[in-house]
A and B are shown apart, each in its own frame.
Chain A
């Protein structure tokens, strides 16, 4: 069972912008919508691994900066004519802090 981890204060993410969270396995982009809703997605576009964190966010989606793929931040699915999916992770705000639920690798005894 994975836990919720506190990663950053909400105010440290620009509205309609993102922060990059570096974990051992991968980079995760945490976005903040204009309604202060937060989203967490693996920072790699399903198309050519473009850094989604660097894209322009609008509504609940982001446009990849490399080739303009539009990714839905709720599902990770590519929108429009493109097909592909990036991992998304549960994210929420509590007391001004952004919390993420990340998959945990089972410790090997």
Chain B
């Protein structure tokens, strides 16, 4: 026999309690009946402002449709308020005369807007801002009348005023205090807010006390205490809310400013629970959504007979839902005696940030103009983190080495897993990342559906999108399970590499057959990878497949946006001679190269070459002693060097000479991705060796070897692999590391993510701790190089694959 649960109130707190109960899979315990005052199913009350502002429709803010109630076997009575609770008979009676018995009762009657009891407050055209009906009245009034007065310059009042203004009304906000949103803002922030709202066209009457509302049947104006008055066709009262507890009080439940509940959300009658704006908990009544949802969670826990949840009150934060205005506040933002405040003010940019600090902990925050770090500050506040370690930079936000220029995405990536992202629903970053990876989510809507993050007020939407982007974008390492190479197969990169090795697969056809490829010739994503894997494993036997190479590698130049190519001659270690430069200059003249540029890797790039001109150009370059610079390939690109001890006052070793040796060792080598080296002659590191795939920093005692650096989209500083004493060792370790990467990394995976994926310890184990293994790797690398160090430019200039470069001219 199921127990009977009756919910009075069809709003956000009550229905959320039911949702939390269903999440605990305890819905079967109860036969549920819901009574609602309004004629609508459950909707998102905090989104009424965007509806009024025309940014959403009513349909957009419905949280649970009638179907949801039906699916969950909930009996819903809309437009029928409960008028009596019979605690002795354990039943409720509705206005329409329905009687429903309960075993447990949940009261979630919310609150009503406070209407100032001045003469005229009952006239037509005087309303609060609370429900869909109020919004409908405002929209209708806006189409027939011009002048609106909003009494109350708090959060709700300003949102109402903004909405009315957007509907074409001339709006004046009347406020009793000299500070707008005084419960959330300090004076400087409030002044910035006022100035930008004034710029949008809003009028303000500050420190004005309403004396009466003027009008016969309908409102015509507002009169103030000082005797002045103002015309009005509509008056919206937004001066506060009052918990609705008359019904509970009538039934003999103890009430003060609201229905008094304990930490388990029970009223003085233990069969009767209460949540939401109607309750008073530890002396506090809340009017924001986040605490209500926390209460709902605890209440559901007890309704499910679990009994361990406790609600201990909430610290709240606030954002204003007015498009184009960024404002955040949390905690105690007005300092008390003995508190310290950190303030950053940039009036020209309209940015203001203030943190109130007590005992090296954040007690409150107010931010205007740039609120990106609000989430972080709020987390520090709630967790009581000691900020003394980063106090000097805290106002600049949560920056980290290497995130320059990466904006919100990087800031989100740096947040810890327990950082709260969605304040309304109490969803942390970890919850979101977890849902994305385990459920394979790809869209904002999916994240909303699974986690509720950004599903309420929506102010965290940008953060959620950034998390989505960074999580999905992490690709392999984030994916918990096996990820197929592409749509052509079920097999992962690792499985394919293993099969090529173990089954001795030596051609693309064998591989397709053995691994049951689903497409006849693969696709543009898997074929280049397979071509590389086969080539890397069987350098002596595998026949390279040009048609499985991206055009850059097929044509040995970089394709540019206009379809022309660019060409980079190799200059070992960046060294060159006047003769080299003359030869390059002559080639440029001869083939009308429109632009030359020195690259970041110390080479000369020749732009704008027509494809059919490539072979003759290469012929000339070959004649002058140049080989291809491989600036276009998933291959070893360049070895960057500094001046070294020959010239430099600080140089400790011959870094240029070592760079040349390294380049002679590694040039021509195909790689999973582009691969760069550098040799710096001293720790000043002029060749930037610590952001290269393999970097050498020369020191007095020898050479530091660094690996896994990346100066690309996501900057990564290298890990120190080891120190060695001789140039021979540098070359051997370089060959071994390079070969390990060539054999183990996934195609299109650079060394930085590869090192992070397999771990530096694995690499050290293969190269430092296993001397025989290191030497074997180096030997395998040198073997592969025998077949790789054939200059493709010279081969093409001599006529190889000439068809590739010769168009067919038709006279039509």
Contact at B812–A16, with CB atoms within 8 Å? no
Which of B130-138, B249-257, B544-552, B566-574 participates in binding chain A? B544-552
Complex CA–CA separation, A50 to B550 (angstroms): 14
Complex CA–CA separation, A58 to B527 (angstroms): 9
Contact at B812–A20, with CB atoms within 8 Å? no
Residues of B near A21 (CB, < 8 A) are 807-808, 810
Contact at A58–B524, with CB atoms within 8 Å? yes
Query: With contacts A14-B547, A15-B547, A56-B527 known, is A50 near B809, CB below 8 A?
Result: no
Query: 1/0 per position for B506-531, CB-CB distance to A under 8 A?
Result: 00000000000001111110011000
Residues of B near A23 (CB, < 8 A) are 810, 812
Please tell me which one of the listed residues B554, B561, B809 contacts residue A66 in the complex, with CB atoms under 8 A apart: B561
Query: With contacts A58-B522, A59-B520 known, is A102 near B812, CB below 8 A?
Result: yes
| B555 contacts the other chain (CB 8 A) | yes
Contact at A59–B561, with CB atoms within 8 Å? no
| B777 contacts the other chain (CB 8 A) | no
Contact at A17–B547, with CB atoms within 8 Å? yes
Complex CA–CA separation, A22 to B551 (angstroms): 19
**Separation in Å of the A79 CB from the closest CB of chain B?**
11
Contact at A66–B524, with CB atoms within 8 Å? no
Please tell me which one of the listed residues B561, B563, B803, B810 contacts residue A12 in the complex, with CB atoms under 8 A apart: B803
- Interface size of B by CB at 8 A reads 28
| Residues of B761-812 whose CB lies within 8 A of A | 803-804, 807-812
Please tell me which one of the listed residues A17, A19, A27 contacts residue B546 in the complex, with CB atoms under 8 A apart: A17
Task: List the count of A-B residue pairs having beta carbons below 8 Å apart.
Answer: 83
Complex CA–CA separation, A93 to B549 (angstroms): 26
Query: With contacts A15-B547, A21-B807, A34-B521 known, is A56 near B528, CB below 8 A?
Result: yes
Residues of A near B523 (CB, < 8 A) are 56, 58-59, 63
**Separation in Å of the B612 CB from the closest CB of chain A?**
9
Query: With contacts A16-B521, A59-B519, A59-B520 known, is A5 near B547, CB below 8 A?
Result: no
Residue of A nearest to B526 (CB): A58
Complex CA–CA separation, A104 to B811 (angstroms): 12
**Separation in Å of the A78 CB from the closest CB of chain B?**
14
Complex CA–CA separation, A104 to B561 (angstroms): 30
Query: With contacts A16-B547, A17-B546, A66-B559 known, is A22 near B524, CB below 8 A?
Result: no
Contact at B808–A14, with CB atoms within 8 Å? no
Query: With contacts A12-B803, A63-B524, A68-B524 known, is A7 near B555, CB below 8 A?
Result: no
Residues of B near A13 (CB, < 8 A) are 803
Contact at A22–B809, with CB atoms within 8 Å? yes
Complex CA–CA separation, A70 to B487 (angstroms): 14
Residue of B nearest to A27 (CB): B807
| Residues of A54-76 whose CB lies within 8 A of B | 54-59, 63, 65-66, 68, 70
A-B contact pairs, 13 of them (CB 8 A): A12-B803, A16-B547, A20-B808, A22-B809, A23-B810, A34-B521, A49-B563, A54-B563, A56-B524, A56-B548, A56-B551, A57-B521, A66-B561
A contacts, CB < 8 Å to B: 5, 7-8, 12-17, 19-24, 27, 34, 48-51, 54-59, 63, 65-66, 68, 70, 102, 104
